[in-house]
Chains A and B, each alone.
Chain A
């Protein structure tokens, strides 16, 4: 069974750093791209960026470029989303999602359960 299991909720202060994770199981982790999606409270879905776990090649949305870093550790089948300096506006639910097949331009067929990040002083 394909599963993406994300790390737990986080509460951080502005300026702090954070890394959240997404562990894939039940499939060949390096064969499918992973994307990250943001959902701010009461708002819609926003695509942040994607990564090819086989070689760690990334492509970010211009809206998020330079503010977040996407990476993977293929040895442990984990994808990461990282901030070096959080802002209050980063408060949101973050989802990882698997691309439907092994090419980057595919819809997302499996999603993690979401990680709620709250940034507040």
Chain B
């Protein structure tokens, strides 16, 4: 089974900071990689799929990159409404990463 490992597990950053979250696959997964945002007490929402394609309606400060085994989610300018846990997913098998909790400093 291919494992998905996110880092860091949590981070605290200031409003306006650039934030980067990493997701690493234990084997190559091409670009079958999605990112989700789950705000506290809310339903997960799709942010990015195919590693770098922004889902409709998602703010442009979110971006994704990578292919093969290493992927990143970047928030170019952190906003208070971005406080959430972010999950990567290898969607050809459904496997999620363990999540990265983002807080405001």
Contact = CB atoms under 8 A, between A and B. Distances in A.
By CB atoms of chain B within 10 A, which of A62, A100, A112 has the most? Answer: A100
A35 interface: yes
Given A46-B96, A105-B91, A107-B34, A113 B43 contact: yes
A47 interface: yes
B49 A45 contact: no
Contact of A105 (B32, B43, B98, B99): B32
A35 to B, nearest CB: 6
A97 B49 CA distance: 15
By CB atoms of chain A within 10 A, which of B85, B94, B99 has the most? Answer: B94
B43 A50 contact: no
Contacts, number: 53
B24 to A, nearest CB: 16
Interface in A14-55: 35, 37, 44-47, 49-50
A80 interface: no
Interface of B: 1, 32, 34, 36, 38, 43-46, 49, 55, 85, 87, 89, 91-99
